[in-house]
Structure 1
């Protein structure tokens, strides 16, 4: 059983829904999964999760969503190395924009710099192609669960 913190980056709530779906599936598989809508530094670093699952949208010109930005900046400033943890990314965006899913990519890049291991390839959800991402997310969560 893995201890998983799900970090949500959202503006309109769709990434929150994806995160809640992921948490439900992971709990059903016996994992300790919790969703952090306004993730704080201590919840992520001091609480020592085994896995960080990032469910993030992209806003503006490829920025990290406002609710996730304070954590992103604090992690970047304090730079806590976390080599014993892993991470996975679900990034949402619209491929008609130049910076498709860039908000999630930025968070993943920072987590790599903090020495977290990427457990599975990221899942990129394109709003132009996928109106209901549930099937894609379900299959991806099964892949993640296999490596936990």
Structure 2
């Protein structure tokens, strides 16, 4: 089974709750999980990093939340090649805003630039269409489990 690190970008706690639930689901399937609410570059480049799941809300006009922004900046500045890392992205947002899942999109693009391997397509959760994201996340995590 895989060691899965959840990197959370959350302002009001929704993304944190989604990450906690997803981590619990994967742990129940036999994976080793850890949730990082203030992730650092050391958490990402550690030798034990196998799978990263970035679970982020979007704030303002498409910005990355304050607790995830330092990691994003560190990764852009230091640009570590992560070819040995597999990843996935869960992007939360509200489609009544133009850039409603941009934080997730930006993190996904950065992971691709760092040559990490996407395990599956990004899950976009729109608060306008999915008031309770548990079912969507559960299905996405079940599919992820089969790939890691």
> For this structure pair, what is the TM-score category when the shorter chain's length is used for normalisation?
over 0.9
Question: Per the alignment, in what secondary structure is the counterpart of residue 143 of structure 1?
Answer: helix
2:18 is the alignment partner of 1:18:
yes
Q: In the alignment, which residue of structure 2 is the partner of 1:106? A: 106
Q: In the alignment, which residue of structure 2 is the partner of 1:72? A: 72
Q: Which of structure 1's runs of 4+ aligned residues deviate more than 6 A?
A: none
Please report how far the alpha carbon of residue 100 of structure 1 lies from its aligned counterpart in structure 2 after TM superposition. Answer: 1.7
Q: What is the CA–CA distance in structure 2 between the aligned matches of 1:103 and 1:24, rounded to whole Å?
A: 23
Q: TM-score, normalised by structure 1?
A: 0.98
Question: Per the alignment, in what secondary structure is the counterpart of residue 17 of structure 1?
Answer: helix
Please report how far the alpha carbon of residue 72 of structure 1 lies from its aligned counterpart in structure 2 after TM superposition. Answer: 0.5
Q: What is the CA–CA distance in structure 2 between the aligned matches of 1:86 and 1:48, rounded to whole Å?
A: 12
2:46 is the alignment partner of 1:8:
no
* CA offsets 1:95-146 (integer angstroms, 9 cap, x no match): 1111020011001100000000111111100011111100111011001001
Q: TM-score, normalised by structure 2?
A: 0.98
Question: Per the alignment, in what secondary structure is the counterpart of residue 63 of structure 1?
Answer: coil
Q: In the alignment, which residue of structure 1 is the partner of 2:34? A: 34
2:122 is the alignment partner of 1:122:
yes
2:80 is the alignment partner of 1:92:
no
Please report how far the alpha carbon of residue 11 of structure 1 lies from its aligned counterpart in structure 2 after TM superposition. Answer: 0.4
Please report how far the alpha carbon of residue 48 of structure 1 lies from its aligned counterpart in structure 2 after TM superposition. Answer: 3.5
- RMSD over aligned Cα atoms: 0.8
Question: Per the alignment, in what secondary structure is the counterpart of residue 33 of structure 2?
Answer: strand
Question: Per the alignment, in what secondary structure is the counterpart of residue 39 of structure 2?
Answer: coil
Q: In the alignment, which residue of structure 1 is the partner of 2:82? A: 82
